[in-house]
Structure 1
């Protein structure tokens, strides 16, 4: 788990302490603090003192989420590595279900679900629009990439393909999507788990259209960067035409839904901005930075 100036890291650790683990499974926790002042050090160490599971605090002083994730990998000893964010709460069977799915489908990486919850002051349009809801998945569904917010990956796969998170994504985000896409390109088996989940309360500073638009733009840019950066020109042209067509269609959808309020047009608007980000990244290296 990586953390940056977030007290909720204690709540996340508490949820990990109550995990129901299969027999003969041992767990250790690595928390990497990406704050150069060590904001989380005492929070983590105080919580570690009252947990039966060994918890290790590490620090990556360079402000770069990719380097922090690399630090976490370097400090792990286990056969499997699980990732969780410092603003999430793990379901008691989260890890057991991830591991079960990995074994059932002989997967190199498994992506669990993230259930969004909302503070009491959330705008109703945010909840009604579903802009923070993740797509429904089936157990064992194969994918080509994923995130590190509810994830299990084989240590053997990391070592076999000498995988590291790319520091070029350290301020933009998307380092995890790039990482897992490279695993997929090497022939790794990436699947979803419908049973393993964590919950995450959406932060107040994200409950607005400005943040959502910025995030959508960044996601689109990242997708192009890790999937199309090295592609032949003819592939890039085909990709551009496909994305441009979808953008035009979404523009009409947004215009049609506009009179019915933000809860109706917000999601297609964000999809439109995502497509714009995909196109923009083909012609510019000046990408959105979420962690600047």
Structure 2
């Protein structure tokens, strides 16, 4: 399980280690392209910011607002993903915070895409949901794509949770509060395990 909260201001020290630690099975063409362009992450790019996006970001920061992306990687666990998304969409969003969810499906076929797209249409304000598909199996690949898509939203913070987790409704509010109070670069909260039925002996 992974539950952590990281500011984008730390991306220069955190992200390169995550992306290029020698363990991630990049294809040669992707590795070469990344070195030439300086781009972070691998997988398909879902689009660049347009003028209206940049204007919105400028207005958001001028108003003292913060953007937070919650990144979720999933594979072949639709019911768990549903519970995870429902819990995230039920979060208390602090004032002046613009939240976004990035869902990356790590499977050969995008079987959860229709469900995630339905969530996009039904998501309550102020939530935004973005979907990504990484067909090459491997959690490093999925996480790299989630980081790449998240950075395309130009966030102040990126939060990572797994698809088999649900969050308390005050999770985002408390993580942001603790991050500012403690002046953290990376923050990790507690995880409480919940088992259905009797535990094996």
The TM-score normalised by the length of structure 1 is: 0.41
Give the Å deviation of 1:47.
2.3
Q: After the TM superposition, which residues 259-278 of structure 1 pair with which residues of structure 2 at under 5 Å, given as runs?
A: none
Superposition misfits of 4+ residues, deviation over 4 angstroms: none
Distance 2:174 2:99 in 1: 15
Partner of 2:89: 17
Q: How many Å apart are 1:26 and its aligned residue?
A: 0.8
What are the within-5 Å matches in structure 2 for residues 220-259 of structure 1? none
Rounded Cα–Cα distance in structure 1 between residues aligned with 2:169 and 2:132: 25
- Give, in whole Å, the separation in 2 of the partners of 1:121 and 1:41: 34
Q: 1:110, 1:104 → 2: CA distance?
A: 11
Higher helix fraction (1 or 2): 1
Q: Give 2:143's match in structure 1, choosing from 69, 76, 80.
A: 69
Q: Structure 1 residue 6 and structure 2 residue 77: aligned?
A: yes
* 1:33 aligns with one of 78, 81, 105: 105
- Is the CA contact (8 Å cut-off) linking 1:44 and 1:57 kept in structure 2? yes
Give the drift of 1:21: 1.5
- Deviation per residue, 1:46-68 (Å, 9 max, x gap): 22222121111100111011111
Q: Matched residues in 2 for 1:99 and 1:118: separation?
A: 28
Is 1:49 aligned to 2:121, yes or no?
A: yes
Q: Quick one: distance in 2 between partners of 1:16 and 1:100?
A: 17
- How far off is 1:122 after superposition? 3.0
Rounded Cα–Cα distance in structure 2 between residues aligned with 1:24 and 1:96: 11
RMSD: 1.1
In 1, the alpha carbon distance for the partners of 2:132 and 2:122 equals 18
Bigger Rg, which one: 1
Equivalent position to 1:91, from 168, 191, 199: 168
Deviation sequence 1:179-217 (CA, Å, 0-9, x none): xxxxxxxxxxxxxxxxxxxxxxxxxxxxxxxxxxxxxxx
2:183 corresponds to which residue?
106
Alignment correspondent of 1:117: 194
Using the TM superposition, give the Cα deviation of residue 43 of structure 1 relative to its aligned residue in structure 2, in angstroms: 2.1
Residue 109 of structure 1: CA displacement?
0.6
1:33 deviates by: 0.4
State the distance in 2 between where 1:35 and 1:29 align.
19
SS of equivalent to 1:107:
coil
> CA offset at residue 121 of structure 1?
4.2
SS in 1 for 2:192: strand
CA distance in 2, matches of 1:15, 1:74: 24
Secondary structure of 2:104's match? Answer: strand
User: Does the residue aligned with 2:130 lie in a helix, a strand or coil?
Assistant: strand
Query: Deviation digits for residues 121-162 of structure 1, max 9, x if unmatched?
Result: 432x3xxxxxxxxxxxxxxxxxxxxxxxxxxxxxxxxxxxxx
In structure 2, stretches of 5+ residues that fail to align are 1-71
